[in-house]
Chain A
Amino acid sequence: MIKNMYFIGIVFVMIMSNGCAQKTIKPPLYLWDNYQYTSSAYGMYGEKKEILDRHTQEVKKIIEQSESKNQRVAPGIYAEYGQLLYENNKKEEAKQYLLLEKSTYPESAHFIDLIIMRLYGEKS
């Protein structure tokens, strides 16, 4: 009986504190790691080789880690890796990742097709 009372008490307190909670923290959908930093740096100082390399490595790492955990890769990441590979002159590999963006996120299909046409002069 007393145990029950405590139980009710604890539940009550939990409810009370919940009522005020701003927002429960939701688990992240994707893996980002240091993406924010390397992406911002790339956006602003992308002409520097070190920055380009660092961002390329970061994106590559995110893809590998997500895939090894069977986690969906965040929107835009495959396409961005494709773009980075292209800048590193790995054009054929780049195309594979652009296509991977398209198959993972069909929303991107139209834009990716346009990019592939621009870069490779062909329809995919």
Chain B
Amino acid sequence: MKKNIHAILILCFFSSLFGCALSPNQAPTLISKIEYAPGFYDKHPKSILVLPAINTTSAADAADQFRYTITKSLAEQGYYVFPIHLVDSFFKSENLPDAELISNIPVKKLKEIFQADAILFINIFNWDTDYEIASSSVDVGLSYSLIDANSEEEIWQGNIFSNSSLNASSNDAIIFLVSLIDVAVNSAVKYTDLATEANTVAANNFPYGVYRSDYHKDQNETIVISESTKPFVRGVYNPKIVGNQIRVSKSFVEDMSATSDMFGPPAPTGSLKLMANNNFVSLPYSKAHHVVNSDYLKHSDFNDYYYYRTENGKKYLRHRFFLYEENKPFFITENKKVFIHTDDMGKILYSKHEVTDFWTRPLIGEPIDYSFEIDRIVNLSSKL
């Protein structure tokens, strides 16, 4: 008996070690919430107005699906979220049915109408669904930005790239709707689950709001930044700082199967078929993650890597795969926030190099990597 307990304890001990074991190439960086978004806690909004999402995908329902499910995620984080359907009706009554039009309303005007502390802008650029009888999945790519309504400053920003898949489940709600209406609604219900999953990921790292008992006490809670999820492959490495440059491997910038690189001309349009892509790491349902740096760069075929963000009437170009603070792009790597240079327009500056180092030189394909010019570095205090 005693021996048994011994064995169990030892087993527990090792499993606790391996439960979160990381492959050598996958050193995550931890960043505290306050380091992630230094401007947030000063403003600390209590109420959030979620604007209709700007949807640049071909999936017409994507934006709505995402938005209708975000209320719960944000409310559970402790915020007052303005009632979404009432907000929609209001905009309709103002002859503003379109997300694009609504997002062009000056923040000051929105503040006047709603008295919201903060406004959430969502930009959905990928919503690739694969709906089948037995299972369905959706690849979601979106950027979101929380603007403080008083100062009009951006206080939180993030990109979500997640794949959620769902097996046919015995969910009551699904049964109710199958019996009630039609197939279109039935599939919509599945997407409701998937959308919920995606925006739970978005809201999970968010600072806690006033309706939670731990309000304002989470500045030092950490967000885990996962880098490459690939095991060690020659020619693939995490971003590394070399002098005043940050070097990234080719796979960081180009998908293995990509036909054009992400900083150059737009890749050909076409739907993303990520499931068919060998490089894509499929995540099980409920384990979608908040990717910050690089995994998603394996996704190719985005037809537009840049989008515009307007702040105080000024337009800023944003690259979807970078995080931004004060409209400057940065990486999180090696326990540092590494800000990189852009041109005046906001385009990311980069250069290509031939890789001569034997160990990092890929065996197949062009031996090339990329570098970005470092603007400044902020060291992070959180350690694993």
**Which of A6, A16, A80 is B16 in contact with, Cβ under 8 Å?**
A16
- Any B CB within 8 A of the CB of A40: yes
CB contacts under 8 Å to A, within B175-223, are 176-177, 180-181, 185, 188-189, 192-193, 195-196, 204, 211-212
A30 and B76 in contact, given A16-B16, A41-B185, A43-B88 (Cβ under 8 angstroms):
yes
Contacts of A40 in B (CB 8 A): 64-65, 68-69, 188-189, 192, 195
Contacts of B90 in A (CB 8 A): 111, 114-115
Check B188 against A41 for contact (C-beta < 8 Å).
yes
- Any A CB within 8 A of the CB of B280: no
- Any A CB within 8 A of the CB of B349: no
Check A108 against B64 for contact (C-beta < 8 Å).
no
- Any B CB within 8 A of the CB of A120: no
CA distance A74 to B83 in the complex (A): 10
Q: Write out, one digit per residue, whether chain A residues 46-76 have a CB within 8 A of any chain B CB (1) or not (0).
A: 1010110010000000000000000010111
**Which of A17, A28, A32, A108 is B82 in contact with, Cβ under 8 Å?**
A108
Interface on A for B, CB 8 Å cutoff? 6, 9-10, 12-13, 16-17, 20, 22-23, 28-30, 32, 34-46, 48, 50-51, 54, 72, 74-77, 79-80, 83, 101, 105, 107-111, 114-115, 118
Check B75 against A30 for contact (C-beta < 8 Å).
yes
Contacts of A101 in B (CB 8 A): 83
Check B181 against A20 for contact (C-beta < 8 Å).
no
CA distance A72 to B67 in the complex (A): 23
Check A41 against B189 for contact (C-beta < 8 Å).
yes
**Which of A13, A28, A43, A118 is B85 in contact with, Cβ under 8 Å?**
A43
Check A17 against B19 for contact (C-beta < 8 Å).
yes
Check B69 against A20 for contact (C-beta < 8 Å).
no
CA distance A39 to B69 in the complex (A): 8
CA distance A103 to B117 in the complex (A): 18
Check A76 against B84 for contact (C-beta < 8 Å).
yes
Most buried by B among A10, A43, A114: A43
- Any A CB within 8 A of the CB of B71: yes
Check A42 against B85 for contact (C-beta < 8 Å).
yes
Check B86 against A80 for contact (C-beta < 8 Å).
yes
Distance in angstroms from A36 CB to nearest chain B CB is 5
Check B80 against A108 for contact (C-beta < 8 Å).
yes
Check A83 against B83 for contact (C-beta < 8 Å).
yes
CA distance A1 to B226 in the complex (A): 43
Q: Write out, one digit per residue, whether chain B residues 104-131 have a CB within 8 A of any chain A CB (1) or not (0).
A: 0000000001111100000000000000
Give the 3 A-B residue pairs with the shortest CB-CB distance, closest first: A76-B83, A20-B20, A110-B115
Q: Write out, one digit per residue, whether chain B residues 40-81 have a CB within 8 A of any chain A CB (1) or not (0).
A: 000000110000000000000100110111011001101111
11 more contacts with CB within 8 A, not counting A37-B189, A43-B64, A76-B75, are A30-B75, A40-B188, A40-B195, A43-B67, A75-B80, A75-B83, A75-B211, A80-B83, A107-B46, A111-B113, A111-B114
Contacts of B115 in A (CB 8 A): 107, 109-111
CB contacts under 8 Å to A, within B150-194, are 172-173, 176-177, 180-181, 185, 188-189, 192-193
- Any A CB within 8 A of the CB of B242: no
Contacts of B78 in A (CB 8 A): 29
**Nearest A residue to B15, CB-CB:** A17
Contacts of A44 in B (CB 8 A): 61, 64-65, 68, 185, 188
CA distance A23 to B33 in the complex (A): 14
- Any A CB within 8 A of the CB of B5: yes
